[in-house]
Amino acid sequence: MASKIRESLLSSLSAHQETYVSGQQLAEETGCSRTAIWKHIEELRNEGFTIESKKKRGYRLLKTNDQLTENNLLLGMETKALGRTIVVMDSVDSTQKIAHTLAQDKAPEGTLVIAEEQRAGRGRMARVWHSPKGTGIWMSLLLRPSLPPQKAPQFTLITAVAVVQAIWDVCQLDVEIKWPNDLLLNNKKITGILTELQADSEQIHSLIIGIGMNVNQEKKDFPEELLSIATSLSIEKGEKISRSELVQRVMYHLERYYQIYLEKGFTPIKLLWESYAVSIGKYITARTLNGELTGVALGITDDGVLLLEDEKGTVHSIYSADIEISAKNRGKP
Amino acid sequence: MASKIRESLLSSLSAHQETYVSGQQLAEETGCSRTAIWKHIEELRNEGFTIESKKKRGYRLLKTNDQLTENNLLLGMETKALGRTIVVMDSVDSTQKIAHTLAQDKAPEGTLVIAEEQRAGRGRMARVWHSPKGTGIWMSLLLRPSLPPQKAPQFTLITAVAVVQAIWDVCQLDVEIKWPNDLLLNNKKITGILTELQADSEQIHSLIIGIGMNVNQEKKDFPEELLSIATSLSIEKGEKISRSELVQRVMYHLERYYQIYLEKGFTPIKLLWESYAVSIGKYITARTLNGELTGVALGITDDGVLLLEDEKGTVHSIYSADIEISAKNRGKP
């Protein structure tokens, strides 16, 4: 748990960013002694904040760094519940695994597990998700919606919409969604989402949304075999991107859409999702466990199921598949 | 793991039930020495089997007991996979909890956890399920269907149909189903089913079906507050019921319907379920987390959702509720 005093110190300093705040003023605002203030400032410096101090003038926060620390993430977090309890770790097998354990241990809704590195990051179908140190956002969010398990797959779609908007806020890059859980930039993978749940027939007990975002990787950071299919925001934008700001915007939009979903149902989110989706209205090939289907992607149902109409006009409900946009679409408007 | 030799010994003995089988013959059939046979017979006696031995004639199995041991359960189990790996325990918190742990540890599909007593048996909505020692069947079955999580609630319904038929086979008692998960005999609870799952958006990882059956309780075994709402097969039938036979029949029918479901979908099972259901076509009151609804229960959907038509003709999809058959039905045919 972050020290409330350090959190409040950071708020004061960032409110006066680039100008000095006296130790006296900080002491009054936080209710600490000036010696205590000095100690907390030291702690913040250890966390990576650059804070200048000058005799008779006080302290000055130069600019926030991009280390993923609890303080860094909480400073600027505009949510009520989501991402308000943060577990930051350096290197983990998988943030999903840790979030599952925390869920069993009664962690509250909104608990966010975030790591600088995943040694065994997972994607859909237990596939490997490459999560190298310090360059991306590897995180898992715990929700506890009072909903039946049939609704769980919708959360992959809600999250996709939130991430698209967060990336727009921070990078002004236009991301597309590929059903069910990939976000693409120039046809390359930029983010993957993995929603897992523990439930009974009637009620979700815990929902764990894993989000893996390629942020500040350079081309040399990707293994050879991924270079043609994956990219990072930094490569596409041509500059370094603030990871903590991205986390904050994802939490902000996700909380907003989660609220809309609980109040108004899935329809408003579905419409947004379809407007961002790359495959809707196009010829696609869907590789399922039971074989391959080709046809036009009509849209998604209220349960998050993809509808595909084959050449005979039969509409198939697709729960799980790898989608490929067919070459047939070339030359179409 | 049961000794394969003891299993095969029991098969030989029960094939000749009430007549003697020579030690020599048993030794040949199992490939053991006669001394080894003698030791295994001792083990079986310790498990509760009554096996007579007579000089120059051999061994005779008098009748199987009703202790829930692995051998007792496997002898007469007519399944391929379900209940073929059995974990028998004396007293546990909850068989669900143990099955979840085994599922994480990669236990195979069909693994059955069964206990003589649950100290903290659970029903729907984390309600207490009274599971006293040695009188009922408290068990949890692990399945790993290649299906999306939306399909999980159907398994409560598949299991209900299997249990109705198992009870008919063993007791010739006509049990009714009350949506979502109760089986009733003369309007009193005889069995509860709790289906839990771990999954991602596309795929169930493990499905744990908990079944609690009141079998040989006498009236004095029920707490005062349950007497008016719960009963046992033995009370209704007026005689002791074989628990191991019941377990075997539940596994048999469940495997059969599971197979039908995988091959032909939910429709054939849904029709059976509706034919056993007490509420379909009747006025009911459904108490949900979001309030109360009254109307006619139309049936269930392919996802196991209950459809209720209110007085204005609006049809509601009910995912979770406590159902009460309304007094309005009285006097109706």
pLDDT tens-digit readout, B239-287: 989 999 999 999 999 999 999 999 999 999 999 999 999 888 899 999 9
Would you put residue B108 in left (φ > 0), alpha (ψ -120 to 50) or beta?
A: beta
By the CB < 8 Å criterion, does B199 face chain A?
A: yes
Token pair, residue A10, equals 């950071």
CA torsion B292-B293-B299-B301 (nearest 10°) is -70
Residues 6+ apart with CB under 8 A from A169: A249, A253
pLDDT at B158 over 70: yes
> Could A148 and B320 be called an inter-chain contact, meaning their C-beta atoms sit closer than 8 Å?
yes
Q: CA A285 to CA A282: how far, in whole Å?
A: 10
Token pair, residue A89, equals 């770790």
Interface test with A, best of B146, B147, B200 (most A CBs within 10 A): B200
* Strands laid side by side in the B306-309 sheet: B315-318, B306-309, B291-300, B283-288, B322-325
Task: Tell me how close the Cα of A232 comes to any Cα of chain B, in angstroms.
Answer: 25
pLDDT at B194 over 60: yes
Q: Which residue has the tokens 């063993």?
A: B170
pLDDT at A165 over 90: yes
Interface test with A, best of B129, B201, B320 (most A CBs within 10 A): B201
Q: What angle do CA A276, A282, A286 make, to 5 degrees?
A: 95
Structural domain boundaries of chain A?
4-61, 70-276, 283-329
Q: Are strands B112-118 and B86-92 parallel, antiparallel or unpaired?
A: parallel
Least-confidence region, from A156-160, A312-316, B35-39 = B35-39
Least-confidence region, from B42-51, B103-112, B121-130, B248-257 = B121-130
In chain A, pLDDT over 70 holds for what percent of residues? 94
For the domain spanning B283-329, the CATH number is 2.30.30.100
The whole-number average pLDDT for the span B44-66 is: 79
The whole-number average pLDDT for the span B7-35 is: 83
Least CB-CB distance to B319: which of A124, A155, A202? A202
Residues 6+ apart with CB under 8 A from B23: B34, B37, B38, B58, B59
The whole-number average pLDDT for the span B131-149 is: 92
> CB–CB of B188/B233 below 8 Å?
no
Task: Tell me how close the Cα of A291 comes to any Cα of chain B, in angstroms.
Answer: 14
Per-residue pLDDT at A12: 82
Which residues of A line the annotated binding site for biotin?
118, 122-124, 189
Per-residue pLDDT at B81: 96
pLDDT at A189 over 80: yes
> CB–CB of B141/B99 below 8 Å?
yes
Interface test with B, best of A201, A207, A289 (most B CBs within 10 A): A201
pLDDT at B28 over 70: yes
Helix (H) or strand (E) holding A322: strand A322-325
Per-residue pLDDT at A184: 95
pLDDT at B212 over 60: yes
The whole-number average pLDDT for the span B293-313 is: 91
Per-residue pLDDT at B295: 94
CA torsion A227-A228-A233-A236 (nearest 10°) is 110
- Is B224 or B81 the better-scoring residue by pLDDT? B81
The whole-number average pLDDT for the span A264-278 is: 93
A107: which DSSP letter? P
Model confidence over A135-150: pLDDT tens digits? Answer: 899 999 999 999 999 9
pLDDT at B62 over 80: no
pLDDT bucket at A329, cuts 50 / 70 / 90: low
pLDDT bucket at B333, cuts 50 / 70 / 90: very low
For chain A, what is the mean pLDDT? 89
Model confidence over B309-329: pLDDT tens digits? Answer: 999 999 999 988 888 887 766
Per-residue pLDDT at B96: 94
By the CB < 8 Å criterion, does A152 face chain B?
A: yes
- Is B4-61 a CATH 3.40.50.720 domain? no
Long-range residue pairs from B315-318, CB within 8 A, at least 24 positions apart, any chain: B318/B286, B318/B288, B318/B293
For chain B, what is the mean pLDDT? 89
CATH architecture of B70-276: 2-Layer Sandwich (3.30)
Using CA coordinates, name the residue in chain B closest to A156. B201
pLDDT bucket at A63, cuts 50 / 70 / 90: low
The whole-number average pLDDT for the span B45-54 is: 79
In chain A, pLDDT over 90 holds for what percent of residues? 55
By the CB < 8 Å criterion, does B146 face chain A?
A: yes
Q: CA B293 to CA B326: how far, in whole Å?
A: 11
Distances in Å between the Cα of B242 and the Cα atoms of A143, B66, B68, B71 are: 44, 6, 10, 15
Using CA coordinates, name the residue in chain B closest to A290. B146
In chain B, pLDDT over 90 holds for what percent of residues? 55
Model confidence over A14-50: pLDDT tens digits? Answer: 777 668 888 888 888 888 888 888 888 888 887 767 7
